[in-house]
Amino acid sequence: MDLRRPRRSHAGRSRPGPLEPEPDGAVVPGPGGRLRERSLDDGGDDHRADGARRRHPAAGRHHRAAGEDRRRPARREQPDDPGAGGLRAVSRTVLVTGAAGRLGRSVVTMLRSAGSAVVAVDRAPGVVDGVQVRAADLADPHAADTVVAGCDEVIHLAAIPGPHAAPAATVFANNTAVTFRVLHAAAARGIRTAVVASSVSAYGLTFGPASFSPRYVPIDEDHPLTPYDPYGLSKQVDEHTAAMIARSTGLTVVAPRFGWIATRDMVAERVRQVAADPGAGKSVRELWGYVELGDAARACVAALDVRDGHHSVNVLAPDSLSTTPTAQLVARFHPSTRIRAGLTGTASAWSGDRAARLLGLGSMWSWRDADALEGTVSTADREVPAGGESHEAKGES
Ligand SMILES: NC(=O)c1ccc[n+]([C@@H]2O[C@H](COP(=O)([O-])OP(=O)(O)OC[C@H]3O[C@@H](n4cnc5c(N)ncnc54)[C@H](O)[C@@H]3O)[C@@H](O)[C@H]2O)c1
């Protein structure tokens, strides 16, 4: 996978890319340090009012609390060795659950490239990038504690990723039980940071009724979560589980709310569909949002650097899948939705402000930079810019 393709930021133009048994032990309260980012409990933060393609001033800021928790093992960082994807090489052991899945495989590869040791776990056994995947059903009361032992950090991706892949009660019970067990075991073991894959489905759009529209766009993390299906509900509950465990134990938990996670080929195919009919398929329900697989993996790894609290954060590409201005699409397909200032050009209908500040993701891959669509969407169409002028003209980076 080429992770060094040109990338775009939620605020900037393209540029070369650098790229869960219940533990017996008592859970020890954590240090309760200052939150760097508002969390579920404190109502989040303000909506950005400037253009979605300008580089956010907070992008790339380092998020680490001043005090280091002495209960937890020090991580051995090598800042001069950036590792794959522009991530700092860090010697640590990371538990990746759902490691045999689409996102899990990509995360394992990225961590390995950055020099981290990986404990890969999934119900489905296998080998990912030379790492043996340990077969375990994390809904089993003892499995989570066993696999967490010896790890410094956790990236928890194991889930049934939709409402229709299993009976409704199974989707809900599996996802929520596994998340609780993994986070509870992680906190009991003194792990510093856990990442839990959430989803924009928790807002209610993806699997809600056709009549459902968001209150406003761009949707930021303050937008109400009103899921209509067991999967979206499981993600909402996962986030509350994360908040409770962070509050009561000091485990830092970051919950990226991913949009549709797709390979570049998958994105190319969806762009063609949207070009033919922007109202067809799932795109209209997902507000034409997407996130490239490598960027989703990068967000997971970057989230391991967050210190203190619990954080829900949208993670999507900074642009839409369409060449039609996003405000026009929203006005046509979601007429009751309020369009806030700042939704310009083909910028994403999903706010990436918090991701920029919290994760420092900076530029992300956009299909507009890709070769995959040669001959399908004209170059001129790809370059419909946010705000009506070219990024180059603005001198953005
Ligand atoms: N794919 C998307 O578009 C998307 C969007 C938003 C969020 N997410 C979330 O991202 C995460 C990864 O998604 P993905 O696309 O890689 O899904 P995937 O189905 O490819 O991978 C999920 C993996 O979790 C494993 N798993 C499920 N229940 C388990 C259990 N009880 N014990 C052990 N392993 C278990 C499955 O075997 C599977 O390999 C999921 O949490 C999903 O809900 C995905």
In the DSSP assignment, the letter for residue 232 is H
- Give CA angle at 381 (379, 386), nearest 5°: 115
The whole-angstrom separation of Cα 31 and Cα 140 is: 30
- Which residue range is the domain that position 208 belongs to? 6-394
Helix axes 168-188, 230-249, angle to 10 degrees: 10
* pLDDT confidence of residue 16: 27
Token pair of 303 as six digits: 């989230």
CB 204 within 8 A of CB 167: no
The whole-angstrom separation of Cα 128 and Cα 172 is: 27
Q: Within a 13 Å sphere around the CA of 1, how many CA atoms are in the beta-carbon half?
A: 23
Ligand 1 nearest-atom number relative to CA 156: 41
> What three-state secondary structure class fits 392?
helix
Among 262, 288, 295, 296, which residue's Cα sits nearest to residue 205? Answer: 288
The whole-angstrom separation of Cα 4 and Cα 150 is: 32
* pLDDT confidence of residue 8: 62
The whole-angstrom separation of Cα 306 and Cα 193 is: 7
Looking at the structure of the chain, the number of domains it has is: 1
Helix axes 102-113, 293-303, angle to 10 degrees: 60
Residue closest via CA to ligand 1's atom 21 equals 101
* pLDDT confidence of residue 386: 40
Task: Please report whether residue 352 resides in a domain.
Answer: yes
Q: 260 C-alpha vs ligand 1 centroid, how far in Å?
A: 12
Ligand 1 nearest-atom number relative to CA 160: 27
Q: 329 C-alpha vs ligand 1 centroid, how far in Å?
A: 30
* pLDDT confidence of residue 19: 25
Ligand 1 nearest-atom number relative to CA 200: 6
User: Could you tell me which residues are beta bridge partners of residue 257?
Assistant: 198, 314
* pLDDT confidence of residue 87: 55
Can you list the alpha helix ranges (DSSP code H) found in the chain?
A: 102-113, 143-148, 168-188, 230-249, 264-276, 293-303, 326-333, 353-359, 379-382, 391-394
CB 323 within 8 A of CB 132: no
Ligand 1 surroundings by CB, under 6 angstroms: 98, 100-104, 122-124, 137-139, 157-161, 174, 178, 197, 199, 258, 260-261
The whole-angstrom separation of Cα 233 and Cα 243 is: 15
Q: 104 C-alpha vs ligand 1 centroid, how far in Å?
A: 8
Residue 66's Cα: distance from chain center in Å? 25
The letter for the amino acid at 295 is: D
- Give CA angle at 29 (28, 31), nearest 5°: 125
Strands 216-217 and 338-339: parallel
Task: Please report whether residue 172 resides in a domain.
Answer: yes
Query: How many CB atoms neighbour CB 324 within 10 A?
Result: 16
Q: 198 C-alpha vs ligand 1 centroid, how far in Å?
A: 10
The whole-angstrom separation of Cα 183 and Cα 245 is: 7
> What three-state secondary structure class fits 206?
coil
Q: 122 C-alpha vs ligand 1 centroid, how far in Å?
A: 9
Q: 302 C-alpha vs ligand 1 centroid, how far in Å?
A: 19
Domain holding 182: CATH number?
3.40.50.720
Strands 12-16 and 6-9: antiparallel
Residue closest via CA to ligand 1's atom 43 equals 161
Which positions ≥6 away from 89 have C-beta within 8 Å?
Answer: 77, 78, 81, 82, 83, 114, 115
Task: Please report whether residue 310 resides in a domain.
Answer: yes
Token pair of 346 as six digits: 């083909």
Q: 236 C-alpha vs ligand 1 centroid, how far in Å?
A: 15
* pLDDT confidence of residue 169: 98
Task: Please report whether residue 89 resides in a domain.
Answer: yes
Per-residue pLDDT of the chain (397 residues; tens, 9 = 90+): 333 344 566 543 332 222 222 222 222 223 332 223 333 333 222 222 222 332 323 333 333 332 223 233 333 333 333 334 455 566 799 999 999 999 999 999 999 999 999 999 999 989 999 999 999 999 998 999 999 999 999 999 999 999 999 999 999 999 999 999 999 999 999 999 999 999 999 999 899 888 899 999 999 999 999 999 999 999 999 999 999 999 999 999 999 999 999 999 999 999 999 999 999 888 999 999 999 999 999 999 999 999 999 999 999 999 999 999 999 999 999 999 999 998 999 999 999 999 999 999 889 999 998 754 555 555 445 444 343 322 222 222 2
Task: Please report whether residue 46 resides in a domain.
Answer: yes
Cα R_g (the chain), whole angstroms: 20
**The residue count for the chain:** 397
Task: Please report whether residue 1 resides in a domain.
Answer: no
Task: Please report whether residue 28 resides in a domain.
Answer: yes
pTM over 0.85: no
The whole-angstrom separation of Cα 244 and Cα 307 is: 16
> What three-state secondary structure class fits 276?
helix
Query: How many CB atoms neighbour CB 100 within 10 A?
Result: 22
